[in-house]
Homo-oligomer: A and B are copies of this chain.
């Protein structure tokens, strides 16, 4: 049976990228060695890192003065690296869910943290916009997509945030929507994320950083936690996660060959529209996020209260039809279909068909 991988992360990658990675595990570029055993200092690996950085710059239209680095540790490590490198006195954070909260928790050990707004009272089902940014903050931190609640800061709201921030540097955790749509990188000083959604398998973290923004805090920074270490050494200060970086490069090639981010956005909108329409037209399902803040990447829905007892039954029904990873996060319940770049329209259609078939079987 064909499986449709709706996991929230690590998550679906393009089929050809998976095939090419498997080939490289057997024989890397005809070198007679596996990618698992090549030296990161070998002449044939540096071009991989260089191409991955160049493709990130090209696809995201990253301006001069920025570098892209690949490190380990995940976004969770970035939650402390950001304040370690950038928080001297005060930082502003927009709290849009669990991941924002974790970032705030780490920052508090380094200086004053102002939570400019939060939608905690509504279980983070919307992106709050009624806030001002303290102009003496070292930076404003946002989380552009919130996997657990299925919310995403829309382009319109991003524009409003760019206006609000004034001269305060902007830092964004884009773990779960990087490369899903064009972004005006020039508005940001740092963009980071675990790569295991739209980019790579688990084990590598990307950081897009404006070089001129670094080196402004007075504290000592351990070498590996200092962004400058990785910038100056082109992600090769120590042994980087070789295979995840190689797979990231393959995914970036795939994205470019398929029309770049404008085309990715078009595909992602088509998939999201298809699934949200099915949810909105359903008698038994309903969405959880406020419509204007709905995520294109993580589509959360629950059974309406009167059908809540069918939760396990629908889950079994969908699983039997090949749907994988659709259980919602325990903080929201219900279901979550993650429709990252590599998910096809056909996959989303299969889920929609499955939802409709189930609903019809109830003879309402």
Contacts and interface: CB of A to CB of B under 8 A. Distances in A.
Nearest to A223: B106
Nearest to A342: B37
Given A72-B203, A72-B241, A220 B40 contact: no
A5 interface: yes
B243 A203 contact: yes
Interface range for A: 35 or more
Interface in A208-231: 220, 222-225
Interface stretch (A57-65, A157-165, A232-240, A306-314): A232-240
A339 interface: no
A34 B18 contact: yes
Given A10-B40, A26-B22, A242 B201 contact: yes
Interface stretch (A75-83, A114-122, A264-272, A276-284): A75-83
Interface string A30-45: 0111111111101000
Main secondary structure of the interface of A (DSSP, over half): loop
21 contacts: A1-B32, A3-B33, A5-B33, A7-B42, A10-B37, A13-B36, A18-B34, A18-B36, A18-B37, A22-B22, A22-B26, A22-B34, A25-B25, A72-B72, A76-B224, A77-B224, A106-B224, A201-B242, A203-B204, A203-B241, A243-B244
Contacts of A38: 7, 10
B240 A202 contact: yes
